Structure 1
């Protein structure tokens, strides 16, 4: 299923006619309506034309899924049937589930909502908790014409590409933080939340033992994926994550369709072609820079629908991305995505010691250009809010220092749970997308892997070699063969990053922006923006000086928030060419 909307049953459809018409125009044509326990449920199929995923056992019992769910080794209707049979109304069987999803169950005269263990498939709700949806814009269209922005959420999204915790960039739209089980009746009751990582030290193991453990977990996961049937498709690049997925697909006896993005002379393309040639695999080369943009009429509206009002880098582009994602996910094909493979590597590249929460903010959430902000920005408030949410991800109150294990846990529990998760939800709108490194069964324990095994991708290279010695022998885009390890030059390069203290990293982005040229991106020029919104960006001027922005992604996100804040009805009527 592509998306769902759950609202208190007042006798009227909570989804307005303009929202429905736009979604039908741009691919959400399959729809089912149900009522249960005083709530009205709208289910929509995916953009690839697949129908909503719904299993009805009787007039009083059903299970529906938005996203992708595997349960007890089964997929689609069989998974929902088994889940409906097993569910006891008190606990959700997260340990038996795979995929990223929101499941709605009506049983015992009660209506329940559960999300995947990590909470990667995001569910949004309004401030009064009358409307719940996997669609941000579905909740947005229930709000007044001119909703209030959330200042912290505005700055988080503009500078980091996502919002964190329960916050969004609109004050009256909230998101579930983690894997949750809720019951819907006269009120909405939180029954349980799932803890993915325990952040405890692990017994000492050799590199070979660690690699064997995770190779076995990944093989078991891909056997579950294979049970869903159909074809599989995956990208192949010069890095480790896509190569590991290819190794796992081949190991599972599958023959995936593989493709690579980039220009002819890109390292990713050269490495992928060498692997495909050497292993006798067919490879599709996709150079997006050579693809003609789709017709611009309704271009912004199409992006608003398909990307649910916002994506990590903003909505304002040529439209090639939206078309490519749809082409990649036809019916009967499951696409794999290697996001969050960093769980096997040293993502943060900080020395092994304890850290104050604010030091993590300085290191990774300080992409601030002072020239672009107005007096509305409060640096101390911004840093304090980010530090508190990092702490909450670990179950702390904001005062405790992070151990190195806790720091490693923040990659899956904060970075992946929010920034990567937005792409999980968006991709699931197009077709079935699988994110193996975002699975709780794979993430568990990675926070306690010694840095000596994570550094330079040593562990991931060993896992690849365990599963496919042949694939491990090809060079990577990092300039070395995985089985041989990094060169001295590469190690020295990474050490330069490793030794930079948090207080210094805080200034890196600002220095870069002082030297950045003025933006020339066609799709962010006033004439292009005027196709869908006021290019003066009046709402965002409370927070930013748009003409001073030199980062295309930041300006794109500012424009995206302006679009969300403009008056209803949504979507706008595109101007003629």
Structure 2
């Protein structure tokens, strides 16, 4: 939970006055500062009022964390106590840890920083690693100038995240994966977590696989339950939230359940049917009915609470920043079903080998040349994305070499989830404790090696739900069929239309959808709203890379405006 800033003591104080004042205005309390050796640490509690997680000893040793940390089955400060006993400065005990976090340890006068095994909890740093933080805007506030990273800017604009070590600002980098850093004269990466493929069992049948993954998830939820507190989860018409509800009930917990959407949406209809059948109280949240009118103050609040950028862009009505805070009062932990696609055929590719370039064409080519400037080189963009994919799975194969299907499947948790999905990890945990069970390597390890036929149509995940809570597998889904019965012919035929599209054709799908007249933009993306936030509506910083007037996709335009704000500085206070 909260955020941290680590800085070399020779640097100027990283708590820039304007940055700190804005964070105070919008919910962050005063930080706790500790120093050891050449480094200082600033720890902020969460927006819901929970303070920093820290244990200190009389000899000067301490351990602190942001995010959510479990060690040896103990949560928060209890886990930190055990870690401080065990940590030897050479290795981080990833196998005994759960959650998504940054842990800072000081032992015998030496400081260390470790992130979770996946690297889902993002840590940003400057080029010399003299400033490291879970806050992107803290890095930006300490830059004398900021310049766009062209590849990172295109990745964020078209795909909602940046990948590898890039951000969309050249002077700000991110750690690639789970890492242990020794904080001496410099911050040196002394170890990185690698997913041990050899640990993945070979299952003889889909039922055997379902039994294994159900057991892993049950073990994780026993850890959650032992940590105490109350739990809350969203429920929708899909599989991921239903499996989380099944696991909470199986663990003997009484979760608070809510659903997002309009009254007639399939998600709402299915969630209400499940809640009624299982005797659960269900909160229905229709954001379209609760949205406040936009104002300049909303932009600064979003900038603070969402750390300068989020997947769909920073500019909105303001309801998201309020709703996320309402989800996590007091000791409530919220579960997030992101990355449940580890149990499914996420890329919708038939069961054969593909090059990294084919995956880029199939999934990461959501770009349109019309609103791009001459600086954009599609071949160079695809090559950089391919290189990121290969680095994510630790292979040096050329991007024109066919990968195994296990490698392709591993790209979902180790690339898509690690960067796009995980941006929400650190953001949500600024508000309070949030848990992401499907992003745990102990859960998803081995899913890349399961037969694609088991993953198609959600068959494997439906079997897992059935193992954990048979009754929940008998309710209809938003897909038009009951999970326990499997997909009907209509759904199979519909999905085949996607499976059979060749990757070279998928490359052009998005740009074909972007033809036609420019649609009207939401009021919060209008010139008046941008000006009120302190932006020049002409977006001068972004003009070297985009022609904003030609952007039809409001979400892409939102991201371009978000980058303009990050490059210009922080928004005007409202």
TM category (shorter chain) comes to over 0.9
Counterpart secondary structure, 1:511: helix
Counterpart secondary structure, 1:477: coil
Alignment-derived partner of residue 113 in structure 1: 113
State the Cα deviation string for residues 254-289 of structure 1 (Å, max 9, x = none): 000000000111000000000000111000000000
1:258 aligned onto 2:278: no
State the Cα deviation string for residues 519-539 of structure 1 (Å, max 9, x = none): 331211111111111111011
| 1:452 Cα deviation after fit | 1.3
Structure 2 CA distance, aligned partners of 1:513 and 1:337?
Answer: 32
Alignment-derived partner of residue 478 in structure 1: 479
Alignment-derived partner of residue 506 in structure 1: 507
Kept in 1: contact 2:295–2:529 (CA 8 A): no
Structure 2 CA distance, aligned partners of 1:374 and 1:389?
Answer: 23
State the Cα deviation string for residues 414-437 of structure 1 (Å, max 9, x = none): 000000010011000000000000
| 1:253 Cα deviation after fit | 0.5
1:75 aligned onto 2:103: no
Change (3 A) 1:56 1:435: same
1:38 aligned onto 2:38: yes
Kept in 2: contact 1:376–1:542 (CA 8 A): yes
Structure 2 CA distance, aligned partners of 1:231 and 1:201?
Answer: 33
Alignment-derived partner of residue 364 in structure 2: 365
Kept in 2: contact 1:230–1:332 (CA 8 A): yes
Kept in 1: contact 2:210–2:464 (CA 8 A): yes
Alignment-derived partner of residue 155 in structure 1: 154
Counterpart secondary structure, 1:54: strand
Structure 1: runs of 5+ lacking an equivalent: none
| 1:495 Cα deviation after fit | 0.6
Kept in 2: contact 1:30–1:50 (CA 8 A): no
| 1:482 Cα deviation after fit | 0.6
Structure 1 CA distance, aligned partners of 2:500 and 2:454?
Answer: 18
Which is further off, 314-323 or 352-361?
352-361
Alignment-derived partner of residue 66 in structure 1: 66
Q: How does 1:515-526 map to 2 (within 5 A)?
A: 515=516, 517-526=518-527
Kept in 2: contact 1:102–1:116 (CA 8 A): yes
Alignment-derived partner of residue 279 in structure 2: 280
Kept in 2: contact 1:32–1:42 (CA 8 A): yes
Change (3 A) 1:200 1:507: farther
Alignment-derived partner of residue 244 in structure 1: 243
**TM-score relative to the length of structure 1:** 0.97
State the Cα deviation string for residues 184-207 of structure 1 (Å, max 9, x = none): 011222111001252898534211
Alignment-derived partner of residue 136 in structure 1: 136
Structure 1 CA distance, aligned partners of 2:94 and 2:443?
Answer: 13
State the Cα deviation string for residues 177-224 of structure 1 (Å, max 9, x = none): 000001001122211100125289853421110010000000000000
Change (3 A) 1:294 1:80: farther
Which is further off, 307-316 or 374-383?
374-383
Structure 2 CA distance, aligned partners of 1:289 and 1:493?
Answer: 30
State the Cα deviation string for residues 214-265 of structure 1 (Å, max 9, x = none): 0000000000001111110000000000000000000000000000000111
| 1:294 Cα deviation after fit | 6.1
| 1:296 Cα deviation after fit | 2.3
Kept in 1: contact 2:518–2:550 (CA 8 A): no
Alignment-derived partner of residue 51 in structure 2: 51
Alignment-derived partner of residue 24 in structure 1: 24
Alignment-derived partner of residue 535 in structure 1: 537
| 1:401 Cα deviation after fit | 2.5
Structure 2 CA distance, aligned partners of 1:22 and 1:59?
Answer: 36
Structure 1 CA distance, aligned partners of 2:166 and 2:280?
Answer: 45
Structure 2 CA distance, aligned partners of 1:345 and 1:34?
Answer: 45
Q: How does 1:306-455 map to 2 (within 5 A)?
A: 306-399=305-398, 400-455=401-456
Counterpart secondary structure, 2:536: coil
| 1:331 Cα deviation after fit | 1.5
Which is further off, 26-35 or 11-20?
11-20
Structure 1 CA distance, aligned partners of 2:200 and 2:233?
Answer: 34
Structure 2 CA distance, aligned partners of 1:165 and 1:39?
Answer: 26
**TM-score relative to the length of structure 2:** 0.98
Q: How does 1:175-214 map to 2 (within 5 A)?
A: 175-198=174-197, 202-214=201-213
Structure 2: runs of 5+ lacking an equivalent: none
Change (3 A) 1:13 1:329: same
State the Cα deviation string for residues 494-530 of structure 1 (Å, max 9, x = none): 0110001110000000110114642331211111111
> Could you say what the CA RMSD is over the residues aligned between the two structures, in angstroms?
1.3
Structure 2 CA distance, aligned partners of 1:294 and 1:130?
Answer: 41
Structure 1 CA distance, aligned partners of 2:258 and 2:201?
Answer: 38
Counterpart secondary structure, 1:389: helix
Counterpart secondary structure, 2:537: coil
Structure 2 CA distance, aligned partners of 1:514 and 1:201?
Answer: 45
Structure 2 CA distance, aligned partners of 1:516 and 1:81?
Answer: 60
Counterpart secondary structure, 2:103: strand
Structure 2 CA distance, aligned partners of 1:123 and 1:176?
Answer: 6
Structure 2 CA distance, aligned partners of 1:398 and 1:316?
Answer: 40
Kept in 2: contact 1:94–1:116 (CA 8 A): yes
Counterpart secondary structure, 2:57: strand
Counterpart secondary structure, 2:514: helix
Counterpart secondary structure, 2:34: strand
